[in-house]
Amino acid sequence: MKTSDFYYELDESLIAQTPLERRDASRLLVYDRRTGETAHKVFTDIIQYLKKDDVLVINDTKVLPARLFGVKRGTQRSVELLLLHRLSLTRWEVILRPGRKLRPGDSVVFSDSLCAVIEKKKEDGVTEVSFSFDGVFEQILDALGEMPLPPYIHEKLEDKSRYQTVYAREQGSAAAPTAGLHFTPELLKQIENMGVNVARLTLHVGLGTFRPVKAENVEDHIMHSEYYCVPEETAAAVNAARPRGGRIVAVGTTSVRTLESTADKNGVIHAGSGWTDIFIKPGYRFKAVDALLTNFHLPESTLIMLVSAFAGRERTLALYNEAVRLRYRFFSFGDAMLLL
């Protein structure tokens, strides 16, 4: 398979720059894999496609205000730092810009209460740094940090909470699980009242989100590991659903990757935590997921490859082209697609 097999044309004007005023006002493209039927709805219509005994699996990761701006100590050179993964109380893996002009031992000052020393440069542009701070790190980060919006979003985000799901609680992501941004507390309550079990897991979105597929052949692409946690109650809920006739409906590609990483060959989910670098692409046999709610993803990305594995590459590209024709909104703040 070639990476170019997952390319589609997208008018830049369709890239959503800001969230809608109402989270659940997005459009929803619904595709039934069994019948081949397509429907165009609004997001609140998702309740028409859920039923009693289904399990809606959500990723409750919380995005860090992970983008910090400072200067190299002793100069006026601007530095941007993106937090990726915490190694200890003071040490982090980060991405630095401009990384080439910073060396181990250099210090970056962000404020009177926060600075970082470059410790070690690693592969793929990742750098280990050690922070020193006066106060509580999380409070300083909340005051100084900005949300790590993807590079295709050029508008400033006025409200940080709009790049968080309403159910976010486990802090640690460098990007939002965007399929979940459409839910409101009221809509989730309505879904639960239907007899749908809303089950939580955690996958902290990391470096892979920021890395395009550069390999010509899909098989040559290397995924980066991301931390996940599946609670006992979530594993129990998912494992009990199918015997009752329920379906496992994954909210977002992050939930899919977590479920498939923790499922055995019989589709049984095992609770626990760890790291996954699973790469789901066409030819993959799904063990744990029956339906997928997802946003529209970048051309040639690992995310559109995952969707193509679930719905078929040709059908996925046809759905994307239809969404382009009907002027759906794309990417993080865009519209959604439900694959049944």
- Which pLDDT score is estimated for 242? 95
> Quick one: average pLDDT of 73-91?
92
φ and ψ of 210, to 5 deg? -100, 5
- Which pLDDT score is estimated for 125? 79
Across the chain, mean pLDDT equals 95
Q: Are 92 and 129 in contact (CB under 8 A)?
A: yes
- Give percent above pLDDT 90 in the chain: 87
Taking the model in full, what pTM does it have? 0.91
Residue 154 burial (C-beta neighbours within 10 Å; 0-12, 13-18, 19+): exposed
* Strands of the sheet with 336-339, listed across from one edge: 38-42, 27-31, 336-339, 291-295, 248-251, 55-59, 197-203, 226-230, 272-276
- Which pLDDT score is estimated for 273? 97
Q: For residues 170 and 231, what is the distance between their CA atoms, to the nearest angstrom?
A: 13
**Please, what's the b/e burial string for 187-202 (b: 16 or more CB within 10 A of its CB; e: otherwise)?**
bbeebeeeebbbbbbb
Q: For residues 55 and 246, what is the distance between their CA atoms, to the nearest angstrom?
A: 7
> Quick one: average pLDDT of 193-218?
89
Q: Are 58 and 165 in contact (CB under 8 A)?
A: yes
SS (H, E, C) 166-220: CCCCEEEECCCCHHHHHCCHHHHHHHHHCCCEEEEEEECCCHHHHCCCCCCEHHH
The CA-based diameter of the chain, rounded to the nearest angstrom, is: 65
Indicate whether 52 pLDDT > 90: yes
Question: Which of 86-90, 186-190, 227-231, 318-322 has the weakest average pLDDT?
Answer: 86-90
Digit-coded pLDDT (tens) for 53-69: 999 999 999 999 999 99
- Which pLDDT score is estimated for 100? 81
> Quick one: average pLDDT of 282-292?
97
| pLDDT confidence band for 101 (50 / 70 / 90) | confident
Q: What is the gyration radius of the CA atoms in the chain, in angstroms? A: 20
Indicate whether 280 pLDDT > 80: yes
Query: What does the angle CA 14 – CA 20 – CA 21 come to, to the nearest 5 degrees?
Result: 160
The highest-level CATH class for domain 67-144 is mainly beta
> Quick one: average pLDDT of 289-313?
97
Q: For residues 299 and 168, what is the distance between their CA atoms, to the nearest angstrom?
A: 27
Q: For CATH 2.40.10.240, list the domain ranges present in the chain.
A: 67-144
The highest-level CATH class for domain 3-63+159-339 is alpha beta
- Which pLDDT score is estimated for 210? 60
Q: For residues 71 and 96, what is the distance between their CA atoms, to the nearest angstrom?
A: 12
Q: For residues 205 and 214, what is the distance between their CA atoms, to the nearest angstrom?
A: 20
Q: For CATH 3.40.1780.10, list the domain ranges present in the chain.
A: 3-63+159-339
Indicate whether 118 pLDDT > 70: yes
Digit-coded pLDDT (tens) for 157-179: 989 899 999 999 999 998 999 99
Beta bridge partners of 94: 83, 127
- Which pLDDT score is estimated for 209? 64
> Quick one: average pLDDT of 14-34?
97
